[in-house]
Structure 1
């Protein structure tokens, strides 16, 4: 029996992992495969220092990619063993990954892997997620609560959350470093990173989603005229801001997004409410917990008539994966 995945298997899994969402599609990850183990590193050159001052979102993004990788490999017939932060002298070395063949690949594993390419961020107003109460029970069974605490915000907390979002936008309005970074990374794509203009929302559409980040306005006609967001809002929190907790939080976020996609829901991760201490404190108060909010997720139902957007560009495989093992020199990555 083969005890190691081929280069082709690893390349395919890393390519799918690269579909993970990240702050402004910055894709702050780098992988190295030596034929035996796969290493995950954070790519600090793609960190957004004005927005993500301490690099929390960079590590969470890498955790989402790590969760996507696990999902992709499971569908390909491989289980993984993770050593998180294996080198105490290298804070950018997030994980060392070993492999073992899986005895079986289930339909559920294949379906979750397929959800990686089906998932996309929907910033427009959403209808309520049908069947949420039953789905929430299933969702909570798919991850370890020690890795992340998931709260569903009650409907009556939404106005307070909207005010916190408005506060965040107001505090950022005259932050020239933040505004420059936001405009550099959004509204266009540079070298396969950044947020395309067609995925943003117009000023009219923004009125319907008062908890969303204030992006540069898109010059797009109304796509869901008069719609007001009724999405369920989830809050994912951790006990600390230590890097281990952040990485595990990202892995949970991967699971949540993919399971919601499988259930037919549209999703939109939100992190602007956790970037500034004052708005983050408001979110923590709304959950009623001592844990630290790391990300919020809008989960809802998109109209059946909604056009599926063009997939957001991703970096070429050669920019995120390095092969160093035997025979690697004979391979050419796209």
Structure 2
């Protein structure tokens, strides 16, 4: 059975008149929430197409960081993050989703999403969806994560359920990870293409993308963290005094190191960040340490189980409840193409 809505979209119905696919406003609303997903340098390197039946995710290579990310690994991880954000948003709106990853030979086509009405919406889904707007990347020093004994097992479960691996590093590994971070920065210190790319995307006032000055930290605060990316320096934060970072360090990895693994790692990253946010914790994904092969090898040697490191995540407690202003995002119309079927 089919029925035309007020926009002229043909909607699939079951025998009792229940919609079998979401309508255009539902798709737009879900992706309006999902666009808050994290991406490298807030490049938002994705494109979506809704054909009236299925939702398709494509990578947008025009937004790739060709110096920092020549393979497109971080681009695909970013797309994996919005894929999980989108599935979470649809689930909270009452839609189950099934994903076909890398569905065909088109290099840019990363996923196809099928829909079915959900029988119920769990409290866990509602909590993660509500966390999407609250999540932000906190580059400042943190206090230890509260209730860590309760939260940590859930993060392990969440990461593996979403196709990645997750390992919490021992505190003794922090100095070696800081050395890997410093080594990554040193290798890029005199790379003009990398530096131009970094300054193009960070510290500016774009209304739609990039890392704004309000999300950056001063040189002194970066030194207190020890493992952060050396973005353009910002004025000192007014919400924190002298504080040595006491966050826990997580490594999200994968069994192999191919595009499918990168996509799944992005999905795992999204789920872990939302789980932390729902638990009241602050987070900061770090990808610069995994950009350089020598640093990735250092991280791999810190892991108890063999894995290809994809993203390092700092998890802690923000000393104050004052979060930074939301980072900019493109409008849904900038990355979503709607097809009206008849």
TM-score above 0.5:
yes
Alignment map for 1:166-185 (pairs within 5 Å)? 166-185=182-201
Match of 1:86 among 94, 98, 103: 103
Unaligned runs of 5+ residues in structure 1 are 328-334
Q: 2:271 aligns with which of 233, 237, 255?
A: 255
Q: How many Å separate the matches in 2 of 1:200 and 1:170? A: 20
In 2: Cα distance, 1:167 partner to 1:273 partner: 9
- Name the CA distance, whole Å, in 1 between partners of 2:286 and 2:99: 27
Shift of 1:106: 2.1
- Which of residues 130, 144, 151 in structure 2 aligns to 1:128? 144
8 Å CA contact retained: 1:202, 1:222: no
Equivalent in 145, 152, 169 of residue 168 of structure 2: 152
Counterpart position of 1:284: 300
For the structure 1 residues 240 and 222, does the alpha-carbon distance in structure 2 shift closer, same or farther, using more than 3 Å as the test?
A: same
- Counterpart residue number, 1:312: 327
- Tell me by how many angstroms 1:139 deviates: 2.3
Find the partner of 2:131 among 106, 109, 115: 115
* Displacement of 1:77: 0.2
Match of 2:91 among 42, 65, 74: 74
Is 1:24 aligned to residue 33 of structure 2? no
Q: Measure, in 2, the Cα distance between the counterparts of 1:290 and 1:143.
A: 16
Superposed CA deviations along residues 158-184 of structure 1, whole A, max 9, x for unmatched, are 111111111111111001110000000
**Given that residues 56 and 241 in structure 1 are in contact (C-alpha distance below 8 angstroms), is that contact kept between their aligned partners in structure 2?**
no
User: What residue is the counterpart of 2:7 in the other structure?
Assistant: none
Alignment partner of 1:42 is 2:59 = yes
Q: Which moved more, 1:36-45 or 1:308-317?
A: 308-317
Instruction: For residue 133 of structure 2, give the secondary structure of its aligned residue in structure 1.
Output: helix
2:289 to 256, 273, 290: 273
Alpha-carbon deviations, 1:216-244, whole Å to 9, x = none?
Answer: 11134554221010000000111222111
Distance (Å, rounded) in 1 between the aligned partners of 2:75 and 2:270: 14
- 2:160·2:166 contact (CA, 8 Å) conserved in 1? no
SS of alignment partner, residue 39 of structure 1? strand
Q: Which of the residues 111, 121, 135 maps onto 1:95?
A: 111
Question: Which stretches of structure 1, 4 residues or longer, exceed 6 Å deviation after superposition?
Answer: none
Alignment check: 8 A CA contact 2:184 2:288 kept: yes
Q: How many residues in Structure 1 have an aligned counterpart in Structure 2? A: 325
TM-score after normalising by structure 2? 0.92
- TM superposition shift of 1:191: 5.2
TM superposition shift of 1:8 = 0.9
What TM-score results when the alignment is normalised by the length of structure 1? Answer: 0.94
TM-superposed deviation, 1:143: 4.3
Structure 1 contact 204–222 (Cα < 8 Å) conserved: no
Task: Show the counterpart of 1:330.
Answer: none
Range 256-265 or range 10-19, more displaced = 10-19
Alpha-carbon displacement from aligned partner over 1:135-162 (angstroms, at most 9, x marks no partner): 1112223343581110100001111111
- Greater shift, 12-21 or 293-302, is seen at 12-21
